[in-house]
Structure formats: structure tokens, C-alpha cells
Amino acid sequence: MAKVDTDIKTDLEKLELDKLQESILSELLDICHENLDETDDEFVRKAFKLCYLSHQGVKRASGEAYFLHPVEVAKIMAEDFNIDDESVVAALLHDTVEDTNVTLNDIRNLFGDTVAHLIDGVTKITGFFDNRDSKQAETFMKLLLSMAEDIRVVLIKFADRLHNMRTINHLPRQKQLKKATETLELYAPLAHRFGLFNIKNEFEDLCFKVIDPNSFKFIARKLREKKESREEFIDKFMEPVEKQLEEYNFNFEIKGRPKHIYSIYRKMQSQQKPFEEIYDLFAIRIILENPHTKEDCWRVYSIITDWYTPIPKRFRDFISVPKANGYQSLHTTVITKTGRKVEVQIRTRKMDNIAEQGLAAHWKYKEGESGGSSELDKFVHWVRDVLDNPRPDAATEFVKDFQLNLYQDEIYVFTPDGELKTLPNGASCIDFAFEIHSEIGERAVASKVNGKMVPLRTKLKSGDQVEIITGNKINLNPDWMEDVVTHKAKARLRQFIKQKERKVADEGREIWEKRAKKGKIAISDQELTRIAQKFQFDAAQDMFFEIGSGAFEVDKLFEVVKQFKSKGRIDDKQDDYKSRTEEEIQKEYITTARSVGDDKALVVEGELSNVKYSYANCCNPIPGDNVIGFISRNGDVKIHRSNCKNAHHLIKTDSERIVDVSWAKNIDTQFLGAVRVIGEDRVGLVNDLTEILSKSMQTNMKSINVTSEGGMFEGILTLYINDLAHLEKIINRLERVEGIKNVTRYE
């Protein structure tokens, strides 16, 4: 901790900046002058001097002076958010109260109440962002409410994390993984909800670069290789449109930006396609300068579609129906005469500012415009709606639900009366029912979408009109948990499931009491708890639940209780329930795993496998993957996934040796596949993963490779897989394990 004299004001007056410090300050002030409406140079200079003085002598992991970090955070506040000089000053001083001897009263006396309030807010929420466990639920809720009061608090925290991620390469690998996973898990979706798309995209790319550096480098290199041809295509595409816009006296700017690397990767994964087959790698944006209006956006759309054929399904009108974070734009995808698909976005300059800066822009627009803060008000309403939960004990689930609500794109659906409802993408009729009212969700028995009866689990699409049919009594189904995405629905289902579990546990206790009475044994609840813990249960209630559900034999408990009452102790040999070591479990997987076979799994050029073939170790294809065959020098066929890097090389260099292959309809064999699992390390994590694979997923494991350092866990699980759908189910299930942050297919 840097030391500061008690008379800070005197120290600041005495402090003379050297040439280097003056240069750094001058650069910051230039950015402020360029991006802020007003800048009080002396105000910023005083904050810069206190920043330098309070952090003097402290170094970052990179070895550079610590005070340069808050300076960079202040630059981001000015350049990316460009709100006001108070937020720049608060950014310069955001670490002082927490890390130095400077107090909040010192800040208030030197810089005023507003800056002190901002720094106090940043200091408080830092604890939440850095310690997101169940004990932090109350802090989390306070954070959301403080955001509603002044979003500059969170913007400073975004800027702080953004600079930390930009310089993350100076940290050890395990610390990088921890920072990257929490940034991808919380900061990126929160930035998305704020409409800070540039920040969100940079967060995702920086995290992806840490978590999967090889894939990041591959896509980045491909984008660089195509940069020149991409710019040439944009110029040619826009040439006729640009001429016509100029004829009609439109004042406009055209941007052609590639999609960010992480979004391209996700598209490759979801579509199971190589980079070369992802065509919408960039979007062309037409920005109309003031005083153009939203009506002019429609005129530009008309000009675009005069030249190119639009794809109706790919048209989105976010001007008439803005996103919850205030985003407005017209989106259309058109086809050129050569058959290439191009995404075009049309918006005004104000819409573009809001798209780039999200609610930061709304915060600025709220002064002097009656409707300027409407989207900010919507966000505040959404926050308070999420917090309207009578069961605040489930903190971990609360955070997960919040993240899901933040991150998903919205869909827009209608009630039978035509009222518009906004839901996360992937929402079902069950989510819609709970959105209308909790009681509607509880009593839902059927649903109609666009006038047709559909199952309650049906996923909704934008534009659907939904009607919920209710019964006279509660009709909740625990299986619905897999089909809902909203916090309201999840919270009520979780409550219902716990009620059912309590009922089963009560039945288990009743079974035990009957057995104890029959055997003429009396034992206290305290003693039963000790015995339950000996069986590796957290509490006696958990043991009773397993008795009630038939998973644990009551006679086994009786024998141990009888032994305990006679000897006053429990023999160690009884302590084997649920306590096998992780090594024993792994051995069991390896010895019981079925052998991998290739019999009649593939069709090669129209014939069943009368040709000898094998699967490439570089990509490990499984049924459901798009695959190609490559004839080797000895006449055998090697099977690759079509998006395999080696396959791309073979196609370029020896295309005449490529043969068409497809999977047979009925395959009675298993294939090797692997997943990478990243999460927070804890005792029993490997045991939980392997137990889920064996019991819940009926999946055998070949091997497991685990590294753990600095509280982070990274494991490669090699499994016997039936097909791609089986692998996706495994990934989805493992993602729900406590502490797991990221599960991906491993190449």
C-alpha cells in the first residue's frame, strides 16, 4: 500500500510532474477535449497528481508503474464512454480508497460529492465481482440497485476490467484462465445488457484468446488473409447504392466491419462448418447523419432492396420494436447476383451512438429529451423485476439466472389481446406463462401458439401470439427445468422441486422410524446426523431423501445404527458408501468401457464399408459430424471432420484423393471423443464429473487429464461417444455441475 501524508492538499500543491508524467497527462487531456462536451483541465490535473502520488512506488505484474493502470482506465472512460470529466476523475482515483491511505472523505473534500459517490460505488462492487459466491447475494442485489442510480459506477468497473484483460498476458496461465472465465461469465453478458456491444465483443475476444488460443489465432489469421478481398467486395457492393444515396442528397457514412472472432467461432461450432463456409463474416453499416430520421432509414432500405434481393426471414426491424437495452436499427440480409449473402444494417447517427455506447448514451441523452431515459427506465424496471424473489437464499442459482437473462437476445411475442412481451431467446410457452403471472405459470396445462395447440415446452419465436390454458390446481412439472430460461420460471420450479424433495425425505424418515421401531432401537437426531455424515451425506435429511427414493437401503442404516448403539462407534468398513476414490472410479471406467469398433459405421461412395477405413486422430469424427474421406497411399480411407484444419490442407493439395462419405443410418458402436472442462477447483469435483457421466449419462470414460492451480481446474475427459447428439447432451449436463465455467468439445 502506498503511503500518503495526512495533509494531501499540501502534498498535491508541492508535487511537480516530470516531463514523462506531463506527457501522459497531456495525452489524457487531449482525449478528454476530443470526446467530452466540457473538460475542467485543473480538475483532471489534480486527480492525475493524486493518482500518481497515492500509487507511487507500486508496480503491476508487468513491472510498469501502477498509476498507469488508472490512467488507462480514465482514457477508456473518455474515449469509449465519453460521458463527463467527473467519471474520468473517478476512474483516475478508482483504486485509491481501497488500496491506499486516501479516504473517501479526502476524495469528497478535494473533488466533491459526485466523484466520492462514484468511487464509493466502484469500491463496493469490486468485492462482488471478485468474490461471487453464495455469501455475496446481498452485495449483488445492492450492486444492481446502485447501477440503477448511477450507471457510471459500472462503466468504470467495465473500463477497469477491460484494461486488465488487455494486459492479462503478464499473469500466470491459471490466473489468466480464472480472469477470462469470470469475464466471459459476468462482464460480457452485463455489457451486452447495457448495449455496450463493442465492449462486450472485446471482452469475448480477449477471453477466447486466453481460453482457446489456437482457435483464436486460426480465425484471426483467416480474417487477416481475407481483409483485402473483403474491402474490395464492400466497395463493389456499395458502389451503385452509394451513387443513388448521393443523388437523393443523403448525408451518410458507410462502415464494413468483420464480425468479432468469438462470434465467428460460435457460428462455426453451432453450424459445424469450417471457416471457409461461414459467409456472413461481416456486416455493412449505413449511418445517416443528423438531421435524418427513422423514416429515412426505410428509404435507404428501399434503395438497397432495389439493387439486391432481400431474404425475408433475415429482416429485423429494431426501430419500431427496439431491444430492451435501447438498440435500434434495421437489419436485412440480401443476396448479390453472384449468390453471396450480405448483412446490411441501417440506422441514424443517434441510433449508432446508442448501439456503440448503449445505456451510457441514454444516460447522456436523458438531459433535455423527455424520452431519452426511457430505455434506462426499462432497464431499472427489469433489474427490480429480477430482484422480486421471495426466496433470496438461492444465491448461486440467482446469479446464473441473471447471467442467462443478460446474455440472450430477446424475442418479441404477443398475448391474445395483442400486448407485446419481451422474453430471452430460447424461451418456451412455460416462460411466457410465468411472464404473464406466477399463478398462470403454476396452473398452465396447455398452450396455443398462433391459434394452434402446442406442448407447453414449445420454444417461441418473435411474432408468435401465445395463449395459455390453465386448470384449477397447480400443475408444475420438475422436468420443465430443462425447458425454461427466465428467472421467474426457474425460481418457482426450483421451489417446487425442493418441496417435492422434502416430501420424499419425510417419507424416507417415516420408513426409517418404522424400521427402528420394529428393531426396538432408539437414536437421537444428533446421532443420526453423525452416522449420515459417515455415509458421506451432508445431513440426515439427505440420507432420508435417498431412503425415500429407494436409492439407499434402510436395512443398511439399521445395521450401522445397531452397531453404533452396541459399540459406541462405526467400523471403517461401513464407511464405503459414496466414498470411492476418484482413481478407483477412473479405473472402473477404463475396465468396463466397451471397445471401439468401425463395423458398418460409414457409407463410402455409396457402398457399405467394404473399404478399409480409420478415423483421423487430429479431429476424432463421430456420427453426426460432417465428414470427408481421404484415400491414403496404401489405399485405405482416412476419415476427417470437414472442418478439420488437416482436411482443409488435403483438399487444397490433393483434392483428387478426396472421397464422399456419410454415416450409416444404424450404427451399433462407440467412438472416441473428448471435452475440455474449466472451472473452480474444489474437493470432489472429478468425482462429481465421473459420477454424472456413469450414472446420469450412461457414458464410459477412457481417460482423464487434470491440471489444477490457483483455485482453477482444467481437465480433458476422453469418452466413448455414440454420436454428436450424445456429445452435446454430455456438454450441456456437465455445464450444470457446481463450479464448472466452460465445457467445450476438445480437438
Q: Are residues 676 and 654 in the same domain?
A: no
Given the residues 98, 280, 317, 688, select the one marked as catalytic: 98
In-domain check, residue 145: yes
Question: pLDDT category, 153, cuts 50, 70, 90?
Answer: confident
DSSP 138-161: HHHHHHHHHHHH-THHHHHHHHHH
Q: Are residues 632 and 547 in the same domain?
A: no
Question: pLDDT category, 379, cuts 50, 70, 90?
Answer: low
In-domain check, residue 149: yes
In the prediction, which pLDDT does 705 show? 84
Q: Are residues 54 and 143 in the same domain?
A: yes
User: Is the per-residue pLDDT at 596 higher than 50?
Assistant: no
Q: What value does the mean pLDDT of the chain take?
A: 79
**Residue 96 lies in domain:** 8-170
User: Is the per-residue pLDDT at 391 higher than 60?
Assistant: no
User: Is the per-residue pLDDT at 652 higher than 70?
Assistant: no
User: Is the per-residue pLDDT at 348 higher than 80?
Assistant: yes
Residue 301 vs residue 587, higher pLDDT: 301
User: Is the per-residue pLDDT at 403 higher than 60?
Assistant: no
What are the Cα distances from residue 535, in Å, to 554, 577, 578?
A: 13, 6, 7
In-domain check, residue 445: no
What are the two backbone dihedrals, phi and then psi, of residue 743, each rounded to the nearest 5 degrees? Answer: -130, 125
Chain segment 194-236, per-residue pLDDT in tens: 778 888 999 999 999 998 888 899 888 888 877 787 788 888 8
User: Is the per-residue pLDDT at 606 higher than 60?
Assistant: no
In the prediction, which pLDDT does 400 show? 56
Query: How far is the C-alpha of 185 from the C-alpha of 515, rounded, in Å?
Result: 48
Given the residues 11, 40, 79, 99, select the one marked as catalytic: 99
Does residue 392 sit in helix, strand or coil? coil
In-domain check, residue 64: yes
User: Is the per-residue pLDDT at 461 higher than 90?
Assistant: no
- Residue position matching grid coordinates 470411492: 580
CA atoms within 13 A on the CB side of 84: 13
User: Is the per-residue pLDDT at 383 higher than 60?
Assistant: no
Between the two ends of the chain, the Cα-to-Cα distance in Å is 45
Domain termination residue (choose one: 631, 663, 695): 663
User: Is the per-residue pLDDT at 13 higher than 60?
Assistant: yes
Query: How far is the C-alpha of 571 from the C-alpha of 574, rounded, in Å?
Result: 6
Residue 351 maps to which CATH number?
Answer: 3.30.460.10
In the prediction, which pLDDT does 559 show? 86
Question: pLDDT category, 24, cuts 50, 70, 90?
Answer: very high
Q: Are residues 165 and 266 in the same domain?
A: no
Q: Which of 475, 412, 413, 473 is nearest to 448 (CA)?
A: 413
Indicate the pTM of the whole model.
Answer: 0.61
In-domain check, residue 635: yes
User: Is the per-residue pLDDT at 514 higher than 50?
Assistant: yes
Domain termination residue (choose one: 365, 399, 415): 365
In the prediction, which pLDDT does 164 show? 93
Within 8 A by CB and 6+ apart from 693, the residues are 589, 699, 700, 701, 717, 719, 730
DSSP 554-599: HHHHHHHHHHHHHHSS--GGGTTTT---HHHHHHHHHHHPPPP--T
Residue 296 appears among annotated catalytic residues: no
Q: Are residues 47 and 166 in the same domain?
A: yes
- 27-31, 123-127, 416-420, 630-634 — most confident range: 27-31
In-domain check, residue 214: no
Q: Are residues 622 and 650 in the same domain?
A: yes
Torsion of CA 37, 43, 46, 51, to 10 degrees: -50
Lowest mean pLDDT among 32-41, 142-151, 509-518: 142-151
Angle at CA of residue 382, ends 183 and 131, nearest 5°: 30
User: Is the per-residue pLDDT at 139 higher than 50?
Assistant: no
Q: Which of 200, 161, 202 is nearest to 359 (CA)?
A: 200
Chain segment 275-308, per-residue pLDDT in tens: 777 766 778 899 998 888 888 999 999 999 989 9
Query: How far is the C-alpha of 111 from the C-alpha of 88, rounded, in Å?
Result: 12
Are the beta carbons of 83 and 77 closer than 8 angstroms?
yes
Count the neighbouring beta carbons within 10 Å of the beta carbon of residue 214: 9
Helix axes 68-76, 41-54, angle to 10 degrees: 150
Domain termination residue (choose one: 663, 682, 709): 663
In the prediction, which pLDDT does 695 show? 80
Question: pLDDT category, 588, cuts 50, 70, 90?
Answer: very low
Chain segment 531-569, per-residue pLDDT in tens: 888 887 778 888 888 888 777 788 888 888 888 777 665
In-domain check, residue 584: no
Does residue 266 sit in helix, strand or coil? helix
Q: Are residues 636 and 561 in the same domain?
A: no
In-domain check, residue 282: yes
Residue 681 appears among annotated catalytic residues: no
Q: Which of 302, 304, 289, 62 is nearest to 171 (CA)?
A: 62
What are the two backbone dihedrals, phi and then psi, of residue 26, each rounded to the nearest 5 degrees? Answer: -60, -40
Split into its structural domains, the chain has a count of 5
In the prediction, which pLDDT does 633 show? 60
Residue 90 maps to which CATH number?
Answer: 1.10.3210.10
User: Is the per-residue pLDDT at 256 higher than 50?
Assistant: yes
Q: Are residues 26 and 97 in the same domain?
A: yes
User: Is the per-residue pLDDT at 597 higher than 70?
Assistant: no
Question: pLDDT category, 10, cuts 50, 70, 90?
Answer: confident
Residue 165, amino acid: M
Q: Are residues 552 and 682 in the same domain?
A: no
* Mean pLDDT (whole number) for 450-479: 87
Q: Are residues 38 and 166 in the same domain?
A: yes
Question: pLDDT category, 367, cuts 50, 70, 90?
Answer: very low
Q: Are residues 650 and 503 in the same domain?
A: no
In the prediction, which pLDDT does 2 show? 46
Q: Are residues 570 and 609 in the same domain?
A: no
Within 8 A by CB and 6+ apart from 171, the residues are 61, 179
* Mean pLDDT (whole number) for 374-390: 51
Provide Rg for the chain, Cα atoms.
30
Are the beta carbons of 693 and 730 closer than 8 angstroms?
yes
